[in-house]
Structure 1
């Protein structure tokens, strides 16, 4: 059975009808186990087994702007208060417009939820791995080999004896988008912060000879906020609100200065 997590969203709301629209967007959705809406603080906390991208898309279907603010475990009888064990995020950039985002949430000492999206892939399966170095000075080619602190053989994610960085495959649909959610027993957030997550251009066949030689996107894994740890509403650098910053990021780049990446 999938392990639920809590994700905190900032949702642009001004009235009770906004609250009703937000709740209706998640009503009767398989995988959504709870929704807590705080109008005053423009906060929605969702308990779910769905990838965050899917929950965000559902919230946006209400017609509101939505940002992810933090993530964490769900309180249980065995873990009253759901102590925050760590969270991380990686923004992936790469060849031919491949982009992605991965989120890590440590929900138990021996369980990490890894989920995210990758866009711009060729349809089909693509290997995904954590690599040993957080060095992208030469793009995805300078991140080293798979993270393998115990010197084990390469293998599938369900194997007991495999690289810590062996996460298996994500599968892109006909549009080139892969949405994934994995439950990892050997990945620890505190061990992978500062390393790099890489998406390959080919399927990982789990053979001992497999190497990540065709790397289409990568991103350094950085610490991110847990639940209620990010209360920023105005950027200290620019003075712009989080909603203005979101509009800036969503705006297309000027034709005279196209955005490029060295990855």
Structure 2
């Protein structure tokens, strides 16, 4: 189903003048589903309302030559995030970063994807999923019964099957994601659950069939992460990490260099 319920997202964006704000506003207004954009040069923040995927908004801002960090989505206690990792280690090849010209899709960092969730109504949550550095093909995105990643995807259990309005299939089935030859894929969809229901569960993206009832295996086609709460639009005002003393942009640079989306 297409996402039709608008929601708010807030991004930190480096801007030096009103011209920067105007460039970003014009770029975002070209995205389908955007209804409102407010760029604040003083606070280095861009607020966006509409039905566009947060990942698409980040890409549009980056296309103007500026970076963007999502600071919050939706109202308090209505957003979640899952960092997807692979628990499979290839030992037969020398891996190279995803996106390197002329090289394979293999990414040496365990992080292979990111999932953002925003509850936009009492019965609807939007899911913005992006993966990178995995083999091309059709993948199934699922919420698992447990959040136990002691043994990676293998210990996360079957697909989440709590009672709900799903027409007979497990509620944890989110949909499919098509990954291209460059190892990149994304999906933006909505599902009938509330964010609090899935906090602590694992989320997996895999090409495995699972029709035989066997648990997921930790192969190179499978990435998984635990779903955790994330900040609402005005819940996160941190600009310096209390642990490292680095600014959010220094942290961002470190993570990007390691392969984080």
Q: Give the TM-score band, short-chain normalised.
A: 0.7 to 0.9
Equivalent position SS for 1:122 = coil
Q: CA deviation at 1:114?
A: 1.0
Is residue 10 of structure 2 the alignment partner of residue 18 of structure 1? no
Decide whether aligned partners of structure 1 residues 5 and 50 sit closer, same or farther in structure 2, where only a CA change above 3 A counts.
same
Please, what TM-score do these two structures have when normalized by structure 1?
0.81
Is residue 79 of structure 2 the alignment partner of residue 87 of structure 1? yes
Provide, for residues 175-224 of structure 1, a one-character-per-residue CA deviation record: whole Å limited to 9, x for no partner.
22111111111x221011111000112468xx6x5666355100000000
Name the residue aligned to 1:213.
216
Name the residue aligned to 2:99.
none
Name the residue aligned to 1:180.
187
Equivalent position SS for 2:148 = coil
Q: Unpaired segments of 5 or more residues in structure 1?
A: 73-82, 153-157, 254-263
Provide, for residues 65-97 of structure 1, a one-character-per-residue CA deviation record: whole Å limited to 9, x for no partner.
21011001xxxxxxxxxx545110000011464
Decide whether aligned partners of structure 1 residues 85 and 234 sit closer, same or farther in structure 2, where only a CA change above 3 A counts.
closer
Name the residue aligned to 2:146.
133
Is residue 127 of structure 2 the alignment partner of residue 114 of structure 1? yes
Q: Unpaired segments of 5 or more residues in structure 2?
A: 89-105
Name the residue aligned to 1:69.
71
* CA distance in 1 between partners of 2:214 and 2:60 (Å): 37
* CA distance in 2 between partners of 1:251 and 1:125 (Å): 27
* CA distance in 2 between partners of 1:119 and 1:40 (Å): 34
* CA distance in 2 between partners of 1:123 and 1:251 (Å): 23
Q: CA deviation at 1:7?
A: 1.2
Whether the aligned pair in 1 keeps the contact of 2:10 and 2:233 (CA below 8 Å) is yes
Whether the aligned pair in 2 keeps the contact of 1:51 and 1:179 (CA below 8 Å) is no
What value does the CA root-mean-square deviation take over the aligned residues?
2.3
* CA distance in 2 between partners of 1:243 and 1:93 (Å): 23
Name the residue aligned to 1:147.
160
Whether the aligned pair in 1 keeps the contact of 2:29 and 2:37 (CA below 8 Å) is no
Equivalent position SS for 1:140 = helix
Name the residue aligned to 1:233.
239
Q: CA deviation at 1:45?
A: 1.1
In the alignment of these two chains, the number of paired residues is: 233
